[in-house]
Structure 1
Amino acid sequence: MTDSLVIGNDSEVILHFDLKLEDGSAADSTRVNNKPAKMVMGDGSLTPNFEACLLGLKKGDKKAFTLEANDAFGEPNPNNMHYMDRSRFGSDLSIEEGMILAFAQPDGSEIPGIIRSVAGDSVTVDFNHPLAGQTVVFDVEIVDVKSGASAQGEK
């Protein structure tokens, strides 16, 4: 193994990132808890343009790049706006605009929803990613690069 392994199409990448909005305000960072992110190139969890920004980097490299909404968290989808009856929330829960609540899915997993408005018995919940529609700046530091299983096998 060598430390000079560069990020390729199926590399496993461990990195720290700082995610900022265009105005410079912080949106997320792996440095807060000193827990770097782990991702596999080509597994579909990242957009192609995000992956393209990482290709060719190696352990120790630092890079900042800007991604438009479509290349980051996408545009808001109107189908992800849901109108719910207030009775679906616990009566002891004080629901306010801007709150983020966890909603159980049929498979038992949870998805966050942002309360966009409360009008009488109607509550509007937005299940779009909180950064949907935003241009974001990623500042990455590559902690480690490992070659993927298919990189070690036959081509």
Structure 2
Amino acid sequence: MTERIGSRKGPKEKGARKVIKEGDFVLIDLTGTVRETDETFDTTDEERAKKAGIYREGTTYEPRLVVVGDGWVLKGIDRRLVGLEVNKSYRIVLKPEEAFGPRDPKKIEVVPYRMLRAEGVTPRPGLSVRYKGREAVVRSISGGRVQLDYNPPLAGRVLVYDLSIRRVLRDPKEKIAALIHRWLPSVDTKAFTIRIRGDKV
């Protein structure tokens, strides 16, 4: 489900495209929460990240670059970006099938506590561990046995994304600079000149 929840004033450019199309380079602000608990698990807002306890030192909090249709975001969001309008805000609700998938009981395993200790791990409920080359979350400990859950942490959850479409990048040089910034955020793209000659940059 996609619901428009507001709009913001943005620069009006002659000939500017107002509707997102597949292949567009767009900058979006977003915040993702779990519907059942209202827990924030992802955001481009630094203050929101700090309040939610998910702030990461060294992370740049700013509108996120997405190439629509290229799988840079969850498939449920990627598909719904097409047709949205620039400078407007939306709420997108994703069912588990559109996000991290349903919970799979076959991905839950019970192992002896001593085997984890032999791996140098002191398990406790909620701890993320790596066991036999796989990432898991400790769900419970009882009678010397530990329940490990190999499902993605957000599997089976209904997710709510509040997002705002900030800009569509049209200029090829601007797109290249944005790509460099996405993959190398510490690089100051204003410190060098981008030249395009044919199919070479």
TM-score (norm 2): 0.56
Paired residue for 2:196?
none
Matched, 1:13 2:37: no
Q: d(CA) in 1 for partners of 2:148 and 2:64?
A: 29
Higher mean C-alpha displacement, 43-52 vs 121-130? 43-52
1:57 is displaced (CA, Å) by 2.7
Q: d(CA) in 1 for partners of 2:111 and 2:36?
A: 33
Q: Which has the higher contact order (CA 8 A, sep 6+)?
A: 1
1:5, 1:146 within 8 Å by CA — same for their partners in 2?
Answer: no
Paired residue for 1:125?
148
Which structure has the larger Rg?
Answer: 2
Out of 124, 127, 132, the position equivalent to 1:96 is: 124
Paired residue for 1:134?
157
Paired residue for 1:39?
66
Paired residue for 2:44?
30
Paired residue for 2:169?
146
Paired residue for 1:114?
137
Query: What residue identity is the alignment partner of 1:96?
Result: R
Q: d(CA) in 2 for partners of 1:104 and 1:39?
A: 33
RMSD: 3.2
The verdict on how the C-alpha distance between 1:50 and 1:87 changes in structure 2, with shifts beyond 3 A counting, is same
**Identity of matched residues, %:** 22
Q: d(CA) in 2 for partners of 1:90 and 1:125?
A: 14
Secondary structure in structure 2 of the residue aligned to 1:130 = coil
Query: What residue identity is the alignment partner of 1:144?
Result: R
Secondary structure in structure 1 of the residue aligned to 2:160 = strand
Structure with more helix by fraction: 2
1:38-91 deviation line (CA, Å, top 9, x unaligned): 333223454544223211234432111212221122101223223334344346
Structure with more strand by fraction: 1
2:90, 2:162 within 8 Å by CA — same for their partners in 1?
Answer: yes
TM-score (norm 1): 0.69
1:134 is displaced (CA, Å) by 1.4
Q: d(CA) in 1 for partners of 2:103 and 2:151?
A: 6
1:85, 1:123 within 8 Å by CA — same for their partners in 2?
Answer: yes
Gaps of 5+ in 2: 1-12, 50-54, 56-60, 173-201
Paired residue for 1:68?
95
The verdict on how the C-alpha distance between 1:82 and 1:8 changes in structure 2, with shifts beyond 3 A counting, is farther
